[in-house]
C-alpha cells in the first residue's frame, strides 16, 4: 500500500473538495469530469437525484451532477469534523484516500464520502474513484432527536388533560383520521421504516396478521438463532444492549421487537390482514382494505409500504404422488416442534438455511433425518467465513460511520469485494467442503460472488454452517438427491434404488418473490408498472423496486437483513418525507 503523509492527505482532501465545489457551482462539465477517473462511480442517496441512484463513468457523472445542481445548489463542502479524519484505506482491493465530508443544498443538510487515488494526490488535480452523497436531514424537517426531542409539555403541564398514555392509545386507534403511510408487515423491515417515519413526523401505521409483536420470529422453529452477529443487526435509534449474546435467539429478538415498538411509539396493529388496495388518483391516495380481528375496514393512506420480506409466499414444487403420502407434509414455514417425531423418520426437501436448521433440530431430538438436495448449494462456515463481510463493524468506528461506509459502496466495488471474500471463504472452509463432497453433497462453485450476492439476487441458495454440515459429512444425517425420486408413496418416498420411509416431510423449498403478491393485491396494471421486486438490476446498479419509488406512485417496498433495513430505511423515509413536504427532486 502506498503510504501518504497525514499532512498531504488533509491538503489533498481539502483541495479536491474546493475544486469540486467551485466547478460544480459553475456547472463546468469538463472541469468536473477531470476530477474523476474515467471508470469512477457516484452513488447518490436523495441529495441530487431525489432517489437512490448510481452512475458510472467520469463524463456521465459530471454531466448529471452539473444538471442536478441547478436545482440542488450544493455548497459549503468541507471535511466532516464529526467523522474520521482523511486516511488511507483498502476498499474492494483498491488503496484509496477516504474522505468524509459535509455540505448543504437548497433543501438539506448533507454529507458524503469521496475516495481519492493516492497516486494522484501530489498532482494538480487529485482524482476520485468513488463519490457518495446523501441527505442527512431536510431543512425545516429535522428529526426530533437529541436537543430537538419532544419536551412533553403538552401532557406534563396540563394536569386535567390526557396524559402520555391516553394520547398514545388514542393515536393508535385511528378513529378520527387515516394514516399517511400504511406499512404492511411488522418484522425488522416494517419496524425500521416506521421508526424512521415517526422521527420525521410522518404518521405511519404498521399492520401484521400475527397475534403479537415479534411473532414473525417467535413462532419459528424452536432452535432458531440469527446466523450473523449482533454487532451489525441493530434497529434504528436503539442499538441492542452490550450484554446481548453474539447470536441472538429468536425469542429474545421477538421480545426486543415488543420493547422497540413501545419505546419508539410505533402505531402497530396485530391480527390485521391486508386484503388489497386500489389507487384513488383523484385524491392521491390508496383505498386499502384490511381485516382486523375479523372486522373489515377501509383506510386511505397516501403511501403503502410493503414490508413483507424479500420472499414471502411459500413455494412448493410439483410432486408426483404427494397426495398418496399418509404422513405429515408441511412447508418449512409451518415447521415448529420436533418432539412428536422422536424415534421416527423425517425427510427434509432442500439444502438451504432453513433446511439445514430443521434437519439439525430434528436430529438433535432423536429423529432419523434424511436431507434431499434439489440443486447445488453454497456452504459457508458461520465463523469465520460467514462473518467476513462484517469486519467493518469491528474496527472501532461508530455504528453510523460504519453504515455510511457500507451505503457508499457502488455495485461494481461491492461485487469485487465479495468476489475477494468468496475466495477467502472457500480457503477457510476447504476441509468442510471436501468432507461434504465425499458423501455426495453438491457444492455451488459456479457463483463467484459469494453468499451476499446470492441473497441479493435470489434470496437464498446458501447455508451458514452451525453444525449440520458436519452431521451430513459424518453420515449422521443422510443425504439423497431429488433427481433420483420416482414418486411419493403412502409410506414415504420411492427412489430409483428403493423406498425411503418417512413419517414427516418438510419442504424447505423457499418462497416466491414479493412481485408474486403485487398482482393479487393491487391488480395486473399495478404489477406491470412495478415489475420485478428484489434482485440487482445491472442497468441501474440498484435493487429492483426496493427502497426506491417504484413505477407506481405511492407504492414502496422495503426488505432485507437487519443492517440493510436499518441503513436503507433512512433513505426510503426521506423520499416519503420529500413527497409529503413537496421537496422537489432534481432529476
Q: Are both 474 and 444 inside the same structural domain?
A: yes
Does residue 168 fall inside a structural domain?
no
Packing angle of the helix pair 188-199, 562-581 (nearest 10 deg): 40
Q: Could you report the per-residue pLDDT of 374-387, keeping only the tens digit for each? A: 999 999 999 999 89
Query: In the prediction, which pLDDT does 458 show?
Result: 82
Residue 285 in this model has a pLDDT that exceeds 80 = yes
Same-domain status, 187 and 132: no
Give per-residue pLDDT as tens, 384-442.
998 999 999 998 999 999 999 999 999 999 999 999 999 999 999 999 999 999 999 99
Q: Which of 251, 253, 241, 248 is nearest to 225 (CA)?
A: 248
The pLDDT, as a whole number, for residue 586 is 47
Q: Give the residue-averaged pLDDT of 264-292.
A: 97
**Residues 394 and 473 both lie in one domain:** yes
Same domain flag for 193 and 324: no
- For 492-541, strand residue ranges (E) read 492-495, 498-501, 504-507, 511-512, 536-537
Nearest to 249 by CA among 228, 224, 229, 212: 224
Segment 461-487 mean pLDDT: 95
- Answer yes or no: do 188 and 233 share one domain: yes
- The grid coordinates of residue 531 equal 415489475
CA–CA gap between residue 256 and residue 562 (Å, rounded): 13
Do residues 55 and 80 share a domain? Answer: yes
152 assigned to some structural domain:
no
3-state secondary structure of 393: helix
Question: Does the N-terminal peptide bond of residue 180 adopt cis geometry, omega within 30 degrees of 0?
Answer: no
Q: Which of 56-60, 108-112, 458-462 has the lowest mean pLDDT?
A: 458-462
The answer as to whether 164 is a domain residue is no
Distance separating alpha carbons of residues 328 and 333, to the nearest angstrom = 14
Average pLDDT over residues 308-315: 72
Is the domain of 530 the same as that of 503?
A: no
d(CA 126, CA 55): 20
The parent domain of residue 197 ranges over 178-312+514-581
E-strand stretches of 440-572? 462-465, 478-481, 485-489, 492-495, 498-501, 504-507, 511-512, 536-537, 542-543, 555-557
**Does residue 88 fall inside a structural domain?**
yes
The whole-angstrom separation of Cα 113 and Cα 158 is 47
Does 130 lie in the same domain as 21? yes
Cα 387–Cα 391–Cα 395 angle in degrees, nearest 5: 150
Residue 377 in any domain: the answer is: yes
Instruction: Choose the final residue of a domain: 486, 511, 536.
Output: 511
Mean pLDDT over the full length of the chain: 93
Question: CA of 262: how far to CAs of 169, 255, 461, in Å?
Answer: 11, 11, 36
For the chain, how far is it from start to end, CA to CA, in angstroms?
39
Bridge partners of 543, per DSSP, are 536
Q: Does the residue 529 lie in any domain?
A: yes
Does residue 549 contact residue 522 with C-beta atoms inside 8 Å?
no
CATH of the domain at 10: 3.10.450.50
Domain count, the chain: 3
Cβ proximity of 218 and 250 under 8 Å: yes
Task: Kindly provide the b/e burial profile for residues 212-241, where b requires at least 16 CB atoms within 10 angstroms of the residue's own CB.
Answer: ebbbbbbebbebbbbbbbbbbbbbbbeebe
376 and 365 in a common domain:
yes
What is the Cα–Cα distance from 209 to 357, expressed in whole angstroms?
Answer: 25
Looking at residues 42-61, what average pLDDT do you find?
97
Mean pLDDT along residues 234-247: 96
pLDDT digits (tens, 9 = 90+) for 442-468: 999 887 899 989 989 888 889 999 999
Q: How confident is the model at residue 224 (pLDDT cuts 50, 70, 90)?
A: confident
The greatest distance separating any two alpha carbons of the chain, rounded to the nearest whole angstrom, comes to 80
Instruction: Give mean pLDDT, residues 180-202.
Output: 97
- The last residue of one of the domains, among 483, 511, 539, is 511
Whether 49 is covered by a domain: the verdict is yes
| pLDDT for the residue 3 | 57
CA distance 360 to 355: 9
Cα–Cα distance measured from residue 48 to residue 67, given in angstroms and rounded to the nearest whole number: 9
CA separation for the pair 511, 313 (Å, rounded): 5
CATH number at residue 532: 3.50.50.60
Tell me the three-class secondary structure of 333-367, residue by residue: HHCCCCHHHCCCEEEEECCCHHHHHHHHHHHHCCC
- Is 50 exceeded by the pLDDT of residue 343? yes
Cell of 14: 481539502
Residue 473 lies in a domain: yes
318 lies in the same domain as 464: yes
State how far the Cα of 126 lies from the Cα of 439, in Å rounded to an integer: 55
The reported pLDDT for the residue numbered 404 is 98
Domain edge (last residue) among 138, 153, 186 = 138
Q: Which carries the bigger pLDDT value, residue 115 or residue 219?
A: 115
Given a cut of 80, whether residue 154 has pLDDT beyond it is no
Q: Are residues 469 and 562 in the same domain?
A: no
Does one domain contain both 46 and 61?
Answer: yes
Amino acid at each position: 500500500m502506498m503510504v501518504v503523509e497525514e499532512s498531504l492527505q488533509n491538503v489533498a482532501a481539502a483541495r479536491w473538495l474546493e475544486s469540486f465545489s467551485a466547478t460544480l457551482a459553475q456547472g463546468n462539465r469538463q472541469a468536473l469530469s477531470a476530477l474523476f477517473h474515467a471508470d469512477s462511480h457516484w452513488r447518490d442517496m436523495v441529495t441530487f437525484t431525489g432517489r437512490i441512484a448510481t452512475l458510472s463513468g467520469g463524463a456521465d457523472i459530471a454531466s448529471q451532477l452539473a444538471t442536478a445542481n441547478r436545482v440542488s445548489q450544493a455548497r459549503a463542502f468541507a471535511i466532516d469534523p464529526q467523522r474520521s479524519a482523511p486516511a488511507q484505506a483498502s476498499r474492494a482491493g483498491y488503496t484509496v484516500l477516504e474522505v468524509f465530508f459535509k455540505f448543504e443544498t437548497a433543501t438539506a443538510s448533507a454529507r458524503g464520502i469521496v475516495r481519492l487515488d493516492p497516486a494522484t494526490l501530489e498532482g494538480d488535480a487529485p482524482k476520485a474513484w468513488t463519490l457518495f452523497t446523501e441527505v442527512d436531514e431536510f431543512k425545516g424537517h429535522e428529526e426530533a432527536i437529541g436537543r430537538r426531542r419532544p419536551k412533553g409539555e403538552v401532557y406534563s403541564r396540563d394536569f386535567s388533560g390526557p396524559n402520555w398514555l391516553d394520547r398514545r392509545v388514542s393515536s393508535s386507534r385511528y378513529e378520527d383520521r387515516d394514516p399517511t403511510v400504511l406499512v404492511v408487515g411488522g418484522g425488522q423491515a416494517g419496524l425500521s421504516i416506521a421508526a424512521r417515519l415517526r422521527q420525521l413526523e410522518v404518521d405511519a401505521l404498521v399492520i401484521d396478521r400475527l397475534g403479537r409483536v415479534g411473532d414473525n420470529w417467535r413462532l419459528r422453529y424452536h432452535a432458531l438463532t440469527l446466523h450473523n452477529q449482533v454487532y451489525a443487526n441493530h434497529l434504528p435509534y436503539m442499538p441492542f444492549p452490550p450484554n446481548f449474546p453474539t447470536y441472538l435467539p429468536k425469542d429474545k429478538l421477538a421480545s426486543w421487537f415488543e420493547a422497540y415498538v413501545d419505546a419508539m411509539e410505533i402505531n402497530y396493529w396485530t391480527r390485521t390482514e391486508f386484503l388489497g388496495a386500489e389507487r384513488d388518483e383523484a385524491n392521491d391516495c390508496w383505498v386499502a382494505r384490511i381485516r382486523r380481528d375479523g372486522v373489515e375496514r377501509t383506510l386511505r393512506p397516501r403511501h403503502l409500504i410493503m414490508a413483507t420480506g424479500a420472499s414471502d409466499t411459500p413455494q412448493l414444487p410439483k410432486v408426483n404422488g404427494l397426495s398418496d403420502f399418509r404422513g405429515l407434509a408441511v412447508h418449512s414455514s409451518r415447521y415448529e416442534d420436533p418432539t412428536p417425531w422422536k424415534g421416527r423418520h423425517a425427510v427434509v426437501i432442500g439444502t438451504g438455511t432453513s433446511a439445514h436448521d430443521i434437519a439439525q433440530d430434528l436430529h438433535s431430538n432423536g429423529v432419523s433425518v434424511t436431507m434431499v438436495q434439489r440443486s447445488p448449494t453454497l456452504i459457508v462456515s458461520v465463523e469465520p467465513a460467514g462473518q467476513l463481510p462484517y469486519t467493518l463493524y469491528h474496527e472501532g468506528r461508530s455504528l453510523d460511520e460504519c453504515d455510511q461506509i457500507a451505503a457508499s459502496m457502488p455495485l461494481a466495488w461491492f461485487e469485487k469485494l465479495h468476489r475477494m471474500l468468496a475466495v477467502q471463504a472457500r480457503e477457510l472452509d476447504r476441509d468442510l467442503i471436501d468432507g461434504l463432497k465425499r458423501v455426495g453433497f453438491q457444492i455451488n462453485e459456479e457463483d463467484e460472488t459469494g453468499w451476499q450476492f446470492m441473497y441479493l439476487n435470489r434470496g437464498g441458495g446458501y447455508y451458514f454452517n452451525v453444525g449440520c454440515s458436519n452431521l451430513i459429512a459424518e453420515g449422521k444425517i443422510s443425504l439423497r438427491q431429488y433427481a433420483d425420486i420416482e414418486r411419493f408413496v403412502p409410506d414415504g418416498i420411492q427412489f430409483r434404488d428403493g423406498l425411503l420411509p418417512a413419517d414427516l416431510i418438510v419442504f424447505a423449498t423457499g418462497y416466491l418473490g414479493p412481485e408474486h403478491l403485487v398482482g393479487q393485491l393491487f391488480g395486473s396494471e399495478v404489477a406491470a408498472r412495478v415489475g420485478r421486486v428484489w434482485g440487482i438490476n445491472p442497468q441501474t446498479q440498484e435493487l429492483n423496486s426496493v427502497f426506491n419509488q417504484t413505477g407506481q406512485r405511492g407504492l414502496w417496498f422495503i426488505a432485507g437483513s437487519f443492517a440493510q433495513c436499518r441503513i436503507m430505511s433512512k433513505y426510503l423515509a426521506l423520499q416519503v418525507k420529500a413527497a409529503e413536504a413537496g421537496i422537489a427532486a432534481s432529476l
